[in-house]
Amino acid sequence: MEKRTSLRLLMLEDDPLDAELEITALEEAGFDCQWTRVETRAAFLAELDAPQYDVILADFNLPSFDGLTALRLFLDRRLDFPFILVSGNLGEETAIESLKAGATDYVLKSRLSRLGLAVQRALREKAGERQQREAEEDRRRLSSAVNQVAEAVVITDLDGRILYLNPAFEKMTGYTRAEAVGTVAPVLERQDQTAAAGADGVRSAVSMGRTWHGRLVNLRKDGMSYTADTTVGPVRDEHGTIVNYVAVQRDVTNELRMEAQYRQAQKMEAMGRLAGGVAHDFNNLLTAIVGYTQLLLDRIPPDSDLRRDLVQIDGACERATTLVRSLLTFSRRDPSRPEVLDLNAVVNNVAGLLRRVIGEDVELISQIGSDVAAVRADPGQIEQLLMNLSVNARDAMPGGGRLVIQTEAVTLDADQVPKGMDLVPGCYARLSVSDTGVGMEEQVLGHLFEPFFTTKPAGEGTGLGLSIVYGIVKRHNGYITVESRPRKGTTFRIYLPVVAGHDAPTATPITPALGGASRGGQEMILLVEDEAPVRMLVQRALEGAGYRVLPAADASAAIDAFRAHAQEIVLLVTDVVMPDTNGPALFEALTKDCPSLKVLFLSGYAGEIVRGRGVMQDAPFLQKPFKLADLSRRVREILDK
Ligand code: ADP
Ligand code: MG
């Protein structure tokens, strides 16, 4: 049986008989009708106000009303269903006029057999229009979404030529729509060696009808490269034939940079811990070697042959000490002595030394900024930083060139902080070191700051220079950037936060106090040190200066010794980090009974690890390895205070 369609009818018809004939005609054509019949304008309008109809059938001539007026009222309300005029005697002209006015169709009462078809067609057309309108709306919604998303969207033909691109694409690549349309999409074009493989992969995947997803490196209009998370897929027509490709790209350059930076920071942290640990143990060994050598030197006559050999050992120890210091600086465990400092003065101070280091072929230019505010920094470390950067610059300019050291005041607003830089907006002193040397390839730039990364021949580079620079900058809460291209030279920029409310003071470079002979004494000293060679050495040195020394290898021995001699002991000389205790805790315990007890801490660690604990903050501290002369001088100073 044929499927019947239900139909809700609004009939504007004064003749009930005609209405019935029309219904019959529709029922015969397969409709199940529900209808409302109205005769007057008022009744018609009332129905239009809450229309629940699929179609209107309107008579042309009514006693108090007419079909064309009804049509106009209907159209005014922008109702979305067919309006069919049904009339006894509609002339050709009137009929056309009514269609022009917007009627969907007209049917003569003498030919009601046509009515069913007319309604069917009208409904079909309306449905079609509605679909088209919805499709258009979809398209409009889609296009405004595509125009506004952050992802770049590109549609190409089968050759990869761009047909469409959205504003995000323009922003991401720097190319305008006019420049890009008609050219081959960068995702499908070989741009460089690395991109070529990617582009081939994309092409073969999409031409076989598959969607490709991955990361591509492309070039922006300005020549910079960017990395994009990319999805490329085929677009098919209704027959399933591939007619276009569509690519969606998200720029992840910045994300990758941040990730890399984070990984880098973590790696440096781990290496720092490692280096710090090694340096600590090594310092204990060095302390013993340096110390015993010193003791021997003191006992050997000046003209002895043995003395020459010992001086060699002593010199080697000094170099080893410097190396360990470098490791500690990198690992941020070297005690730093930050002070309010004028960068310009530091630059001026080291300029002379730098000139000697870089040799005659390289011209040194210092450009000193006039309004560079003071920073809180350790002058020795800033000097070391400048030295390391300058040495690298010299190595990069074997045939001579120009080394420019510049200081500037820079204020960074929130929106000025360069992309990918985790700098707090604010005032900075910027120290730049530029050279006109060989520059660096991308892959060197990626590893620059890693300890032991070097491109120099064995024996020439240690790979520690820049990792030390990095460590110094980090511990000053600063930031370092590098800009370099092969053969185009290199610029390192270091941002150091300025100290609020300080004009630049004059710098005081650290010049190590020269060790002179110092007085000894007869006081009693409690010495706590777990490393036997170091303990014995310190004991001998202090006893040599006349002191009475009670050595202890651990906390309980120390406490026993202290109980036995509480009245006589005036000074505690103790290691900081020991297996069963730590120096500060021991000192605290002892001062409970004897508040006047003085202390000198010794450590191969130092810096942040042991500082920060209350008692250590301002306590006298001697970094291992130390010279015996320094030890006895510090001891005397403390006792005399
Ligand atoms: P080293 O100088 O011992 O090799 P660094 O940590 O100081 O170790 O530097 C690491 C590497 O970075 C160098 O080997 C070199 O390849 C590169 N480099 C550093 N500074 C520059 C520069 N100014 N110009 C070119 N390359 C540099
Ligand atoms: Mg170097």
Q: Is 191 a pocket residue for ligand 1 (Cβ < 6 Å)?
A: no
Q: Is 12 a pocket residue for ligand 1 (Cβ < 6 Å)?
A: no
Say if residue 137's pLDDT is above 60. yes
- Between CA 190 and CA 591 the distance in angstroms is 75
Q: Which ligand is nearest to the CA of 462?
A: 1
- Between CA 216 and CA 79 the distance in angstroms is 52
What angle is formed at CA 42 by the lines to CA 36 and CA 45, rounded to 5 degrees? 65
Question: Is the distance from CB of 556 to CB of 310 less than 8 angstroms?
Answer: no
3-state secondary structure labels for all residues of 372-394? CCCEEECHHHHHHHHHHHHHHHH
More confident residue, 331 or 466: 466
- Between CA 316 and CA 322 the distance in angstroms is 10
Buried b (16+ CB within 10 A) or exposed e, 124-155: eebeeeeeeeeeeeeeeeeeeebeeeebbbbb
Q: How much is the pLDDT for 192?
A: 45
Q: Is 440 a pocket residue for ligand 1 (Cβ < 6 Å)?
A: yes
Segment 398-441, tens digit of pLDDT? 999 999 999 999 988 877 666 666 678 888 999 999 999 999 99
Say if residue 189's pLDDT is above 80. no
Residues whose CB falls within 8 Å of the CB of residue 91, separated by 6 or more in sequence, listed in order: none
Q: Which ligand is nearest to the CA of 449?
A: 1
Q: How much is the pLDDT for 615?
A: 52
| 640 alpha carbon – ligand 1 mean position (Å) | 48
Q: Is 485 a pocket residue for ligand 1 (Cβ < 6 Å)?
A: no
- Pairing relation of β-strands 479-484 and 490-497? antiparallel
Q: Is 471 a pocket residue for ligand 1 (Cβ < 6 Å)?
A: no
Say if residue 576's pLDDT is above 70. yes
Q: Which tokens belong to 225?
A: 């490269």
Segment 230-284, tens digit of pLDDT? 999 999 999 999 999 999 999 998 888 777 777 776 776 677 777 777 887 888 8
Task: Report which protein residue has its CA nearest ligand 1's atom 13.
Answer: 454
Q: What is the pTM of this model?
A: 0.47
More confident residue, 312 or 270: 312
What would the mean pLDDT of 145-171 be, rounded to a whole number? Answer: 91
Say if residue 475's pLDDT is above 80. yes
Contacts 24+ apart (CB under 8 A), 172-179: 172/220, 172/226, 172/228, 172/249, 172/251, 173/218, 173/220, 173/221, 173/226, 174/220, 174/221, 174/222, 175/221, 179/221
Say if residue 504's pLDDT is above 50. no
Q: Per-residue confidence at 509, pLDDT binned at 50, 70, 90?
A: very low
DSSP-assigned beta bridge partners for residue 482: 492
Say if residue 610's pLDDT is above 70. no
| 467 alpha carbon – ligand 1 mean position (Å) | 10
Say if residue 515's pLDDT is above 70. no
Task: Report which protein residue has its CA nearest ligand 1's atom 4.
Answer: 454
DSSP-assigned beta bridge partners for residue 25: none
| 330 alpha carbon – ligand 2 mean position (Å) | 13
Q: Per-residue confidence at 510, pLDDT binned at 50, 70, 90?
A: very low
Q: Per-residue confidence at 333, pLDDT binned at 50, 70, 90?
A: low
What would the mean pLDDT of 464-469 be, rounded to a whole number? Answer: 85
Segment 335-390, tens digit of pLDDT? 567 788 899 988 988 887 788 778 888 999 999 988 888 999 988 889 889 988 99
Average pLDDT, the chain: 85
Say if residue 1's pLDDT is above 70. no
Q: Per-residue confidence at 516, pLDDT binned at 50, 70, 90?
A: very low
More confident residue, 144 or 264: 144
- Pairing relation of β-strands 5-12 and 162-165? unpaired
Q: Is 437 a pocket residue for ligand 1 (Cβ < 6 Å)?
A: yes
Q: Is 387 a pocket residue for ligand 1 (Cβ < 6 Å)?
A: no
Say if residue 197's pLDDT is above 80. no
| 11 alpha carbon – ligand 2 mean position (Å) | 96
Q: Is 272 a pocket residue for ligand 1 (Cβ < 6 Å)?
A: no
| 448 alpha carbon – ligand 1 mean position (Å) | 7
Q: Per-residue confidence at 564, pLDDT binned at 50, 70, 90?
A: very high
Say if residue 105's pLDDT is above 70. yes
Q: Which atom of ligand 1 is nearest to the CA of 468?
A: 6
Please return the burial class of 82, using the count of CB atoms within 10 Å of its CB with bins 0-12, 13-18 and 19+.
buried
What would the mean pLDDT of 162-189 be, rounded to a whole number? Answer: 85
| 497 alpha carbon – ligand 1 mean position (Å) | 25
Say if residue 635's pLDDT is above 90. yes
| 453 alpha carbon – ligand 1 mean position (Å) | 8
- Between CA 559 and CA 581 the distance in angstroms is 12
Task: Report which protein residue has its CA nearest ligand 1's atom 19.
Answer: 392
Q: Is 469 a pocket residue for ligand 1 (Cβ < 6 Å)?
A: no
| Phi and psi angles of residue 494, each rounded to the nearest 5 degrees, phi first | -120, 125
Amino acid type, 552:
A
Question: Is the distance from CB of 537 to CB of 549 less than 8 angstroms?
Answer: no
Q: Is 392 a pocket residue for ligand 1 (Cβ < 6 Å)?
A: yes
Segment 582-608, tens digit of pLDDT? 888 899 899 988 889 999 988 876 544
Q: How much is the pLDDT for 434?
A: 97
Buried b (16+ CB within 10 A) or exposed e, 451-479: bebbeeeeeebebbbbbbbbbbbbbbebb
Task: Report which protein residue has its CA nearest ligand 1's atom 21.
Answer: 392
Q: Per-residue confidence at 625, pLDDT binned at 50, 70, 90?
A: confident
Q: How much is the pLDDT for 577?
A: 78
Q: How much is the pLDDT for 506?
A: 41
Say if residue 570's pLDDT is above 60. yes
Say if residue 46's pLDDT is above 80. yes
To test the ligand 1 pocket, which listed residue (264, 452, 454, 487) has its Cβ within 8 A of the most ligand atoms? 454
**In what helix (H) or strand (E) does residue 283 lie, and over which residues does it extend?**
helix 253-299
Q: Is 384 a pocket residue for ligand 1 (Cβ < 6 Å)?
A: no
